[in-house]
Amino acid sequence: MNQRANQRVAYYNGNIVAERDVRIPFRDRSFLYGDGCFDMTRTFNGTVFKLTEHVERLFESLAYLRIDINLSPSEVVEISNEVLSRNRHLLDAGDDYWLGQRISRGVKAVGDEGWDDTGPTVIVDCQPLPFQERAHYYRDGLKVIIPSVRRTPPEMLSPRTKTHNYLNLVMADLEVQAQDPGAWAILLDHNGNLCEGLGSNLFLVKNGRLLTPRAQYVLAGISRGTVIDLAEQLGMVCEERDLDLYDAYTADEIFVTSTSFCVCPVRSINGNKVAQDAIPGKITQQLLSAYSTLVDCDIVAQYLRHLEPE
Q: What is the pLDDT of residue 276?
A: 76
Whether the CB-CB separation of 264 and 258 falls below 8 Å is answered with: yes
Distance CA 283, CA 277 (A): 12
Instruction: Find the helix packing angle between 282-295 and 222-233, rounded to 10°.
Output: 110
Taking phi first (over 0 means left), then psi (-120 to 50 degrees means alpha), and beta for anything else, what does residue 34 get?
left
> Which residues is 256 bridged to in the sheet?
202, 264
Whether the CB-CB separation of 168 and 149 falls below 8 Å is answered with: yes
Residue type, position 297, single letter:
C
Q: If you compute the radius of gyration of the chain from its CA atoms, what whole number of angstroms results?
A: 20
Tell me the pLDDT of the chain (310 aa) as tens digits: 344 568 999 999 999 999 999 999 899 999 999 999 999 999 999 999 999 999 999 999 999 999 999 999 999 999 999 999 999 999 988 899 999 999 999 998 776 666 777 789 999 999 999 999 999 999 999 999 999 999 999 999 999 999 999 999 999 999 999 999 999 999 999 999 999 999 999 999 999 999 999 999 999 999 999 999 999 999 999 999 999 999 999 999 999 999 999 999 999 999 999 987 789 999 999 999 999 999 999 999 999 999 876 6
> Cα–chain-centroid distance for residue 236?
24
Neighbours of 166 (CB within 10 A): 15
Q: Which residues contact 92 (CB under 8 A, 6 or more apart)?
A: none
SS3 45: coil
Which residue segments constitute the domains of the chain, with CATH numbers given?
9-128 (3.30.470.10), 133-304 (3.20.10.10)
Q: What is the pLDDT of residue 1?
A: 34
Distance CA 191, CA 278 (A): 32
Neighbours of 164 (CB within 10 A): 19
pTM of the model: 0.93
Nearest to 43 by CA among 259, 198, 291: 259
